[in-house]
Every structure is written in C-alpha cells, then in structure tokens.
Structure 1
Amino acid sequence: MFSFQPSCWSEHEELKVVMLCAPSKLDVPDLKTAENVLWSAPVSHAKAMENFMELKGTLEHAGVQVIDYAQELQADAQLLSEQLLNRYFVRDLACVFGNHLLPGEAGSSIRRPEYGHAHCLLAQWFPHHFTAPKETGDILEFGDVMVLNKDAVLINIGERTTRAGVERVKDRIFQAGFSEIGIIDLPRSSDTLHLDMNCNVAHDNVVIAKSFMRYFPVQVFTTNTTRFDMTAQFLKRHGFDMYWLEKYNTIPDINFLNIDPETLLVSNKATKQHFKNHPILQKKNIIAIEVTELEKGGGGIRCMTLPLVRKTV
C-alpha cells in the first residue's frame, strides 16, 4: 500500500512518515466521568478535533507524511474505534527499531481494542516487517521506550510495561542491530506513567529529564552480558549529556517531538524558558501548537505520534 518501509534509528533525526489517529467522537462531559476513565478533566470532542487538525497540519506543513490509521479501518472496526477514548495515543501501539516494526501489548484493558485495530493494519501495510502478536499478557507500551541511537535503546518497566514484556522483544531489538538495551524501573504513578513522561531526547547529544532520575540505576544488557550503570552514566556513554529539570509541568514540558535535528514540536503549555536556559536547546526552532484538550487524556505530543520513518544522516 505504501512505497516506504519502516526505518527509525533515533528519536531526533528528520521525521519523514508518522502515524496518528484522530480522537474519539465522544465527549467526556464532566469531571466525574473524566476521573473514572483516568483523564484529568472533561473533554469536548470538537475542541479535541481542532487540536488534532492543528497537530496534523503542522506536521504536514513541515513536510512529514501523516497517516491517520482511523481512516483506514474497515466499517465494523471503525464503528468501535470511534468510541475508544485513548486511541489517539498511538505511540504505545508499536515501535520501529531500525528496520524492524515490533508490536506492543496494552497495559490497561480499556486500550486493548485499539491495539488490535492498529496491528491488523500494520501487518497488512508492512507484511515483511511486522507480525501481529498473540496476546500473552506480557505487557509493553512503547511510551516506555526511547530509541537513543543506532547502538542503544532505553526502556522503562513500570506502571504499563513489565519485564516479561521487554523479554518478549529483547532478542528482536538486538537482531535489528542495536548493541545495548538499558532497563530502568521508575516510580509508578500518574505523573511517571511512561518513560516519556520522565525524560526525552531533545537533541542528538541532550536528554531532558526530571532530576529524580539521577538516582536510578539502569540494567544494561548486551547479547551475552549484563551490568548496571547509573542513568547519566549510561546516557553519557551513548553521547548524551543530561539536562536535569528540578521544576516541570510533566506532560507539556517533557512530552515533545523532534521533527528534525533543529526543530522541536511542543505544546503551547510548555515552559519555553527550559529551552532558553540551555546553550544548545536555545538554538532550536521551537514550534508550539495548541493541544491542551488532547493533553487532558493524560499524554502529550510524543504520545500522539508514532514515527514510521526517520531519515538517517
């Protein structure tokens, strides 16, 4: 169906193709309902769609090919999909490691249908790169994964990802060409739900992270060895300096997207001073968009985007 094949070797190289999903057609009408579905506030579908169209349009204006998988579903799947509140958080569904596209498994029952919908489409689009999984209970949501560079991947086991889920894909990550997998075990709370709510790659040599992460060890796996590093030590060996944030607004400040090596796509709610205070990041092109209504679902721009192709240098 598509003329490209999946290829991603980092979080920061030029984004060429990305998968999105439009938000559900349902409103979340009041705070009680929002709390029951683990959202932070009521959400208007109309406003959420305005946010989504701004996200989509901004990416397309930057030259990125955007695929809205909701538009590709068969009628019966589409009818269900339109009622799935979290379906626009596509990052968790799958991940491209090099030229390998691996499936995730939902860490909460409310999200299981969307994984099936997306996986069926990915298997059709990329039959030589992706195999739809059998549900095993070994959960892995790819908001917990950072593809740092051609050598290393960092994975969090926590609220939504288990060690068994990592074990399920570990050998395939090595087969894709990566030499090290670092596993960190961060606190389990709504503010630390996924790895990308705690840290993010902001440049080819800078990782932004909440300051508490400096105290956490990383278990480092190669194909035949294992050892421990501290977080900063692990990232430093792979070329990244740490930019520790002592104060932050979790979703808008941490959950942004690299469009290319010079450009970050961030929320209007992001603290711009964080970027201005760093000698490298102050030189970045910062594009801020309105995604406040979508962020009420508990995730940010990175959560809403699944890179399928990044151009390698």
Structure 2
Amino acid sequence: MENKRKIHVYSEIGKLKTVMLHRPGREIENLVPDYLERLLFDDIPYLKVAKDEHDNFANVLRMNGVEVLYLEKLVSEALHECDVKEKFLKEVIYECDIKDEDTIKVLIEYFKSMPTKAMVDKIMAGVRKKEIGLKENSNEYPFIMDPMPNLYFTRDPFATIGSGVSVNSMRTKTRKRETIFGKYIFNYHPEYKDSGIKYWYDRTEKYSVEGGDELILSDEVIAIGASERTDKQAAMKIAKKIFESNEGFNTLLIFDIPKSRAFMHLDTVFTMIDYDKFTVHPGIEGGLKVTALTYDEKNNDVKAVEEEGTLEKILSSHLKRDITLIRCGGGDQIIAGREQWNDGSNTLAIAPGKVITYERNYVTNELLDKYNIEVIAIPSSELSRGRGGPRCMSMPFYREDCHK
C-alpha cells in the first residue's frame, strides 16, 4: 500500500510542517531587457546568488522542522508512466500556440530524448528556436517555448485550502502554463493521486484567480482579493464549492483592492503573522469594500453581504478578536514605499508569532520585534528582484491546526 500525502491547511499561521518550493533555474538566465514586460519581471536576478539565497531559505525552513518539497521533483515523479509523460508534453506544447505541425513533432522528439527531470527543467527554462534547428533572426522573438521565470513564486499557480486545492486560472498568458504542473502533481503523483484531495477550482475556468490573493484567516474564514489578477466571480465559485464540502469554513471575504502592480495580490498588502496581528501596507488602511459570503443552506446558494470599513474593523469583526495592524516601514511614506517594493508586508508565518522575512526590510523587521514577533530575516538581494516575498515563494501543503 503506497503512502498517501494529505493536503491540510486551515490557517495562515499554524506550525508549518510541509511546504513546496521551486529553486530558481535557467529560466532566470533567459530574461533579457527587451522581454521583461512580457515575462512579468522588472529586473534580472543574478542566478548564482538567487540560488544561494533560495537554498538558505530552504535550510531555514528545515532547521525549523519543515519538510521541503520541490516543484520540479514532484512534477518529474508524477510523469513516471510513459503515457502520462506524453500527455503532459502535448498539453505543454499545445499551450505555446505553436501552429506548425512539423515544429511540434520536432519539439516532442527533442524533449523525449531527455531524462524526465531534465525535460521538466528545460520546459521551465524555455526553448530557443536555434535549439531545435530553427533560424533565429535578430529582430524576432527567439523562443519557441517561453521561459517561466515566475515559477519560484510557487504560491500563485495553485493554492491549498483546507483539504483541497484550487488549481488556478491565471490572469496572464505568461503564467497560465505554470498551472499544468499542479494539475499533474495532484492527478498523477503516486503520493497525491487518489488521496482524497478536493478540487475547488480548475485551471480552465473563465474567471481568473491567483494564489497570492487566497488567504486562510482561520478554520472558519477565508479571504480572497479581487485584484489586478483575481476576479470576484472566481472567488464566488470557490466559496460555493468550499461551503458545500463541509470543510468547516463558513465565511469567505472578498477584499476589493486597487487594480495595480503595487497591490498585485492581497498578500502584497497584508499577511497574517499571529492570532491577532497582521503586517499591512499603509495604503490599504483607509475605507475598504468587502463582500462577505456565507452559505444559505435553505436555498442551496451563496449569500453575499456588502461591508465597508477599515481593515482593522473588518478583520476584528470576522475573527472575533481585537486586531493589531503593524504598518510596513512604520507607516513612514518613504520607508514604507521602499520596503513595500521589496515585499515588507509579504511575510511567511511558520508558527504563530514566528515569521520569515527579507532582511533588507529592516525597519519593518525591527517593528515586528517590538510587537514580540520572532523574525527570521533572510538575504534577498536577488530573490527580491522578482517582486515577491517569502509567502510568495512558498506553498504550504501541511500546517498543524491552531486554535485560540
């Protein structure tokens, strides 16, 4: 009997036991200035240092009792059967919008010549035209298959909620293929397939949702940001599925946040760090519009109530306790702007009141310490160039339950 792994995530702060990361690879070295916007980057990280920083991040997690799994390894293990591997290849290539049948055949043979792990790494890194014998003109786009430099932000392509996952429908074409990896892990990996994992959303859905907008505030309350990357309609569909599953969640809060890169996801403007404490971008502290979803069992439908108020008031009301908001950069306009750019509000709680942050956000880190939050600050000179913090770089698979 094969051992089966469970997905078990009922909070943002329960002691983290298992997490999935992606170690930055050659996809980072396929970033060039002309194509940064297309690939959703503002800068080009130095891969050698980014790997060292990421390895340090993983080691910090391990030293704190967290099992670290890697996306690239899980995908490779999921493709152990030949027919599954072939199906995966065809799906990945299909989503590259390659029209020429001969090119598709060449690409399939190119990948089939590789060991499975090398094939997965190469799909992530991207394929240049010249690598499969096609001519590259200096004034044309050089890739037949785009690199996936955003992959080290494992939070977004799918999200774990309770005992299930939402395999997300990403907003941008650039990131849509990333979700194929999650699909194959949960459908075909020996330790995850047939393990009772529930599915809250599918990557083929019309409306977009991304994992950075999905937060689990307690074993009863979920928050989803209606943001630049996530549609309110997706949140409502996820809510209905979760409410009907008897997972224990009874409220889903849809936070309407500004549709801009600075507020890209909900977890770039606030993250939970303790039972009653949150880090927060000062720019979201004014009046907020929130749609509170609950389940109307009588009519078998989701009930929506519009609420307005401050973030503190809304969180206090739904979590039924007084809430403390800790402002990024102490609320100072210049410091907050600088540290927010480097994800000062994007913390990863590995236990209640114990968080991993970027060391460069030293003002915010000192403030967290004053609020009795244990801070583990990690180097991030290169990782931060991707515009994502420790929460963005991690996908919890298992957290211990926490009640207070």
Scaled by the length of structure 2, what TM-score is found?
Answer: 0.72
Aligned length: 311
Counterparts of 1:245-256 in structure 2, within 5 Å, are 245=328, 246-247=331-332, 248=336, 249-250=339-340, 251-256=342-347
Contact persistence 1:255–1:301 (CA under 8 A): yes
State the one-letter code of the partner of 1:145: E
Q: Aligned pair in 2 of structure 1 residues 281, 218: CA closer, same or farther (>3 Å)? A: farther
Contact persistence 2:167–2:203 (CA under 8 A): no
Structure 2: runs of 5+ lacking an equivalent: 80-115, 127-147, 297-302
Match of 2:48 in 1: 46
Counterparts of 1:159-308 in structure 2, within 5 Å, are 159-174=228-243, 175=245, 176-214=247-285, 215-224=287-296, 225-227=303-305, 228-230=307-309, 231-237=311-317, 238=319, 239=321, 240-245=323-328, 246-247=331-332, 248=336, 249-250=339-340, 251-271=342-362, 273-277=363-367, 282-308=371-397
Q: Of residues 162, 171, 177 in structure 2, which corresponds to 1:98?
A: 162
Pick which of 302-311 and 170-179 moved more. 170-179
State the one-letter code of the partner of 1:283: N
Contact persistence 1:55–1:291 (CA under 8 A): no
Pick which of 3-12 and 242-251 moved more. 242-251
Please give the alpha-carbon distance, in whole angstroms, between the structure 1 residues aligned to 2:370 and 2:272. Answer: 11
Please give the alpha-carbon distance, in whole angstroms, between the structure 2 residues aligned to 1:39 and 1:266. Answer: 21
Percent identity of paired positions between Structure 1 and Structure 2 = 20
Q: Of residues 101, 115, 136 in structure 1, which corresponds to 2:179?
A: 115
Structure 1 position 312, deviation (Å):
1.2
Contact persistence 1:51–1:290 (CA under 8 A): yes
1:14 aligns with 2:83: no
Q: Aligned pair in 2 of structure 1 residues 111, 294: CA closer, same or farther (>3 Å)? A: same
Q: Aligned pair in 2 of structure 1 residues 242, 116: CA closer, same or farther (>3 Å)? A: same
Please give the alpha-carbon distance, in whole angstroms, between the structure 1 residues aligned to 2:381 and 2:43. Answer: 11
Structure 1 position 29, deviation (Å):
5.8
Higher-Rg structure is 2
Scaled by the length of structure 1, what TM-score is found?
Answer: 0.91
Contact persistence 2:346–2:388 (CA under 8 A): yes
Structure 1 position 191, deviation (Å):
0.8
Aligned to 1:219, the other structure's residue is in SS state strand
Structure 1 position 310, deviation (Å):
0.6
Aligned to 1:37, the other structure's residue is in SS state coil
Q: Aligned pair in 2 of structure 1 residues 203, 37: CA closer, same or farther (>3 Å)? A: same
Match of 2:82 in 1: none
Match of 2:63 in 1: 61
Once the two structures are superposed, residues 144-192 of structure 1 have per-residue CA deviations (whole angstroms, 9 ceiling, x without a partner) of 1110001211111111101222123111232322111111111111111
Structure 1: runs of 5+ lacking an equivalent: none
Contact persistence 2:170–2:203 (CA under 8 A): no
Please give the alpha-carbon distance, in whole angstroms, between the structure 1 residues aligned to 2:401 and 2:227. Answer: 31
Contact persistence 1:152–1:179 (CA under 8 A): yes
Once the two structures are superposed, residues 36-66 of structure 1 have per-residue CA deviations (whole angstroms, 9 ceiling, x without a partner) of 4332222222222112111111111111001
Pick which of 235-244 and 50-59 moved more. 235-244
Match of 2:123 in 1: 80
Pick which of 179-188 and 19-28 moved more. 19-28
State the one-letter code of the partner of 1:184: F
